[in-house]
């Protein structure tokens, strides 16, 4: 994860404006689904052949839940939900059966992700998002793949009240960008090595599998690169349960912002987690502003004896601030979505 180059600032400001403009005004008509669209890569039954075509067919400023059911198959395309199309459900047939693949790398001016979701009120279930050019570099070079390990993004989530169930995100560096807004990830699989969960999202990961895929000869990687910029910002990453496993060695995170905040609670750490655990990166000497905590974690990688001395300890009352209900669901939005979690 590199610090954002100057050309990235304007697009991010636009996302913030769209987030505040749309985030609180739409409830999508409760938990009723007004319409269902079907995607089938072969166009059977008159269905759309591409996922993007299905999204494009939805009217702008949609205010009712529209479900897009994606039949099993490998869809080689870049998928984007624009900021003016909230209230969309993308439903696959399981992350092993409904797969979206694309191969762009990140440029100086955009993330170029396989999947980008910009509006509020988006639900995704049972889909895998993969990178054609980098997601399976570990273990040797693939035919036709450049020898250079490129920064490529599987998914960018930039909308408030976004939820993901039983999804897979497979990449190497910057796999999942939780850019801004409140996000809920449940029973998801997230793979990578360097900063592969990053951004300024207010994101809660429940029972997710974090898989480290360190390439041979590479230095220890980083699971998170959380970019909280101010002590007043509500964002941070919370991992409840789940596991960290895989190949090689990795830090739990490094600071992409001066007030970076990441909490693991009751998570299983395999031996891939290095003893130091955390890295302040460009904020060396400012560690007092950073909130990195591990509470009631287990496994061989959870031994805190050699952790960085500035890792935070949390009381039960402090930890309560980072429960699902307190951290992302104070207004009950998760209780009103048309998916039982």
Q: Which residues are catalytic?
A: 174, 195
Identify the burial level of 232 via C-beta atoms within 10 angstroms of its C-beta, where 0-12 means exposed, 13-18 middle and 19 or more buried.
exposed
Distance CA 79, CA 228 (A): 27
Distance CA 40, CA 50 (A): 7
- Token pair belonging to 121: 């009120």
Among 15, 329, 19, CA closest to 203 = 329
- Token pair belonging to 112: 């170029």
Contact 188/157 with Cβ under 8 angstroms? no
Among 51, 20, 19, 37, CA closest to 157 = 19
Could you give the 3-state DSSP secondary structure of residue 170? strand
Distance CA 245, CA 259 (A): 27
- For residue 264, the Cα-to-chain-centroid distance in whole angstroms is 16
């Amino acid at each position: 994860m590199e610090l954002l180059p100057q050309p990235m600032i304007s697009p991010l400001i636009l996302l913030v404006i769209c987030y505040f403009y749309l985030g609180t005004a739409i409830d999508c008509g409760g938990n009723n689904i007004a319409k269902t669209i079907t995607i089938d890569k072969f166009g059977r039954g008159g269905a759309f052949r591409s996922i993007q075509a299905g999204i494009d067919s939805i009217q702008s400023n949609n205010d009712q839940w529209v479900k897009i059911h994606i039949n099993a198959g490998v869809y080689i395309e870049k998928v984007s939900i624009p900021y003016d199309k909230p209230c969309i459900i993308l439903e696959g047939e399981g992350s092993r059966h409904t797969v979206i693949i694309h191969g762009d790398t990140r440029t100086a001016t955009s993330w170029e992700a396989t999947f980008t979701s910009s509006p509020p009120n988006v639900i995704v279930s049972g889909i895998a998002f993969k990178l054609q050019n980098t997601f399976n570099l570990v273990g040797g070079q693939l035919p036709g793949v450049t020898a250079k390990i490129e920064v490529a993004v599987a998914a960018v989530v930039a909308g408030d009240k976004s939820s993901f169930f039983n999804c897979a995100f497979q990449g190497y560096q910057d796999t999942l960008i939780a850019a801004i807004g409140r996000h809920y990830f449940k029973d998801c699989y997230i793979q990578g090595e360097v900063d592969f969960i990053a951004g300024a999202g207010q994101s809660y990961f429940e029972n997710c599998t974090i898989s480290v895929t360190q390439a041979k000869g590479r230095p220890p990687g980083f699971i998170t690169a959380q970019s909280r910029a101010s002590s007043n910002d509500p964002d941070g990453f919370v991992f409840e349960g789940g596991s960290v496993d895989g190949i090689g060695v990795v830090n739990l995170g490094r600071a992409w912002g001066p007030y970076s905040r990441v909490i693991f609670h009751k998570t299983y750490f395999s031996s891939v987690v290095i003893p130091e655990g955390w890295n302040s990166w460009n904020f060396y000497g400012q560690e007092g502003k950073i909130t990195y905590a591990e509470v009631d974690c287990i496994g061989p990688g959870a031994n805190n004896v050699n952790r960085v001395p500035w890792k935070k300890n949390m009381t039960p009352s402090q930890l309560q601030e980072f429960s699902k209900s307190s951290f992302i669901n104070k207004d009950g939005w998760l209780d009103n979505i048309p998916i039982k979690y």
